[in-house]
Amino acid sequence: MPLGTLDRSLPPFFNQGPSVFSKLMFFGSLSLFLMVADARFNVTQPIRAALATLLYPVQWVALQPVHAVENASAYFADLSQAQSESAEAKKKLALQSLRAGQVEQLTQENNRLRSLLGLKDKLAIPVIAAEVLYDAADPYTRKVIIDRGQNHQVEPGSPVLDESGVLGQVTRVHPLVSEVTLVVDRDLSIPVLNVRTGARSVAYGDPAVGGSGMELRFMGSNADVQEGDLLTTSGVDGVYPPGLPVARVSRIEHRAESTFSKIYCVPQALTTGARHVLVVRPITADVALRPAPAAPAAPAKKGTAR
């Protein structure tokens, strides 16, 4: 029998209820109505809340194996990290103990040498604890305001330190607060000393690196400066005590068109988020004044010989 002569309609016995097309139209219209009603009036929100409440215990039970695996992984990871940190701490403690012994030996040797040479001991410089209140409003400078001023014996030009090194210098003093110019400000310069070589130079704030770096200027292309060199205060300016960490050399650029190198440095102090600082009295008051040069003797007047 040819396939074209077959009747594709359902027998009357199975043909009950609405047609498939009617069902499609009905459920399609119902879906559109529910979507619009939910988007406009949130009519299904109570149903969702009820279903979420009913299904929460099932979800909680289903997630317990996942949480157990995650907790186990986190436990072993934390255990491994704790063991590595403990080993690193023991190593640092051993190095610190070794350095402490060397420092004590060098201190004793220094005291003997100073006694032998008749040099006076370093003066104890008082410090004032302060807290950073806020950044200065000028967007073209890098300054902060601290909660100590003239009433707390803060002097203009006083160095300001944090736990890592030199943060800046007091440039303006008010009765209750003071303005501190950070080391990364383009108008601040600090005489520094290269710990590795002992060479002296001057570090300036470098605005070209986003206002968060420093630069060694007027250093020749053949100068002995390497990346990683630590720069400390030299103490020759009469403001900063010697030996305070200032910056570390991060990058060196040799320029063919110039006899000077471009040396970038990263400050040791936390210039972007310092909270508690120390204000140090300038050492100028503790340094003996340079004696005035003697006036030249007046030439003797020529007189008549007797």
Q: Is residue 163 part of a domain?
A: yes
Q: Is residue 117 part of a domain?
A: yes
Coil, strand or helix: which one is 98? helix
Which parts of the chain have pLDDT scores under 50?
123, 304-306
| Residue 270: strand pairing partners | none
Structure-block tokens of residue 241: 């005590």
pTM of the model: 0.55
pLDDT at site 231: 93
Asked which of 121, 147, 180 is the last residue of a domain, the reply is 121
Q: Is residue 114 part of a domain?
A: yes
pLDDT at site 286: 53
Same domain membership, residue 177 and residue 214 = yes
pLDDT at site 49: 81
pLDDT at site 282: 81
pLDDT at site 10: 56
Q: Is residue 228 part of a domain?
A: yes
pLDDT at site 294: 61
pLDDT at site 203: 92
pLDDT at site 301: 56
- Residues 6+ away with beta carbon under 8 Å from 203: 183, 189, 190, 191, 192, 214, 215, 216, 231, 246, 247, 265
**How many domains does one find in the chain?**
2
Q: Is residue 144 part of a domain?
A: yes
Coil, strand or helix: which one is 200? strand
pLDDT at site 305: 47
Q: Is residue 5 part of a domain?
A: no
Same domain membership, residue 134 and residue 258 = yes
> Which range of residues forms the domain containing residue 140?
127-285
Nearest to 231 by CA among 270, 190, 262: 190
| Sequence-ordered alpha helix ranges (H) in the chain | 20-41, 45-117
- Give phi and psi for 118, each to the nearest 5: 75, 25
The Cα-based distances of 103 to 96, 110, 111, 124, 256 in angstroms read 10, 10, 12, 19, 43
Same domain membership, residue 34 and residue 60 = yes
Identify the CATH number of the domain in which residue 270 sits. Answer: 2.40.10.340
pLDDT at site 207: 67
